[in-house]
Amino acid sequence: MKVLIVSGIWPPDVGGPASHAPDVADFLRARGHEVEVVTTADAPPPARPYQVRAVPRRHRPGIRHYRGAALVHHRARAADVVYTTGMFGRSALGATVARTPYVVKLTADPAFERSRRRGFVEGDVDDFQGGRGGAAVALLRFARDLELRHAAHVFTPSSYLRELALAWGVRPDKVSVLPNPAPRIPPLPDRDELRRAFGLNGATLAFAGRLTTQKSLGHALEAVAAAPGVELVIAGEGPDRGPLEQRARALGIADRVRFLGAQPRERIVELFRAADATILSSSWENFPHTVVEALAVGTPVLAMEAGGVAEVVHDGVNGLLVAPGDTAALSEAVRRYFQEDGLRQQLRTAAAGSVAAYAPDRVFGELEATLERVARS
């Protein structure tokens, strides 16, 4: 089977699709399939055992989108199936013109994400489902529905997102839940050694991801401010870094918050292992890769219950959950985690086993079977 994988981001970019797409490519290639990748990049991507073709991001959006669709079309003609984790419009157009079926890995509501980037709407993804917005938003919704309804199959990492896709008109038999896989954990140094390497001397929370409005890290900063002695280490870059640094100073916790900048995936896994817990205060989420990564190395998650987070983080089992946007409750969860006798050890003991069902071979095996079925159809 010849598979064309399309991803909007690719290493060294940081983010879920930049982790997922290479993992899928490596798995399929190891299974004997031919793999090729189309992405966008600031610079030529590092060499891989398969071809990675990138549209330069320096182009203006219209030109970049045209070149992306044209490249997908050109490469899809030689493929049996297209698997797209982003660039959905370009993937749908290019694959359709090439008459090659495409399978979508949906990670969010594309219409909402596009509307937020353009400043058309505010609020979260659940608010967006109410149908508000002008003509431009209606057009983005129409494009989303068209892209997904014409896909041969749609995967969602959570039941939460599957229900949204059904509401957009995707047929129930064409959309299924495929969770993000737990990472293959390489041999890691001793946890105490990792803590020394990161300079962690006391109670420490970690976060990794894009520093954007969606992550609402202001809630996490406020929770840390309300928990004396607790430090927060943040790995990642994004447009909100400056405002977050200012917010930490305003809260008087600049000496307890460290910004590491963008880090390779291997380093993030080590950070999660070294930390006492990870924290997630997002306003909207689907099924974050970082949650599974943290749990896989035995580190509990303290999170706001947004989107599909509660499908993997279970309150009192492998982490603590609070209501979305409830900063006071998140602050109390942080204090409870570090003060309640036996709680940390109880949650740490259960963390790794709680994601055992997300083994990569099982998850990617199901994906492979669907791609083969679609390629034969």
Residue 312 CB burial class (10 angstroms; 0-12, 13-18, ≥19):
buried
Can you give the pLDDT at residue 213?
Answer: 86
Buried b (16+ CB within 10 A) or exposed e, 278-301: bbbbbbbbbbbbbbbbbbbbbbbb
What is the pLDDT, as a whole number, of residue 15? Answer: 74
Which pLDDT does position 93 carry in this prediction?
97
Closest to 312 measured CA to CA, from 269, 358, 272: 358
Whether residue 219 contacts residue 251, with contact meaning beta carbons closer than 8 Å, is answered with: no
Q: Which helix (H) or strand (E) holds 102?
A: strand 102-105
The fold adopted by the segment(s) 191-357 is Rossmann fold (3.40.50)
| Residue 124 pLDDT | 81
**Single pTM value for the model:** 0.81
DSSP class of 240 = T
In 10 A of CB 340, how many CB atoms?
A: 10
**Residue 283 confidence (pLDDT):** 83
CB 217 within 8 A of CB 250: no
Residue type, 3: V
Whole-angstrom distance, CA of residue 85 vs CA of residue 333: 34
What is the predicted pLDDT for the residue at 326?
94
The per-residue pLDDT for range 323-354, each reduced to its tens digit, is 999 999 999 999 999 999 899 999 999 999 99
Give the pLDDT score at 1.
97
Residue 18: per-residue pLDDT: 85
All CATH 3.40.50.2000 domain ranges of the chain, comma separated, are: 2-181+359-376, 191-357
Give pLDDT, residue 170: 97
What's the distance, CA 161 to chain centroid? 13
**Residues in the chain where the model's pLDDT stays below 50:** none
Cα(148)–Cα(60) distance, rounded to whole angstroms?
26
The per-residue pLDDT for 265 is: 84
Instruction: Report the alpha-carbon distance of residue 73 to residue 93 in Å, rounded.
Output: 8
Q: How far is 267 from 11, CA to CA, in rounded Å?
A: 13
Name the fold adopted by 2-181+359-376: Rossmann fold (3.40.50)
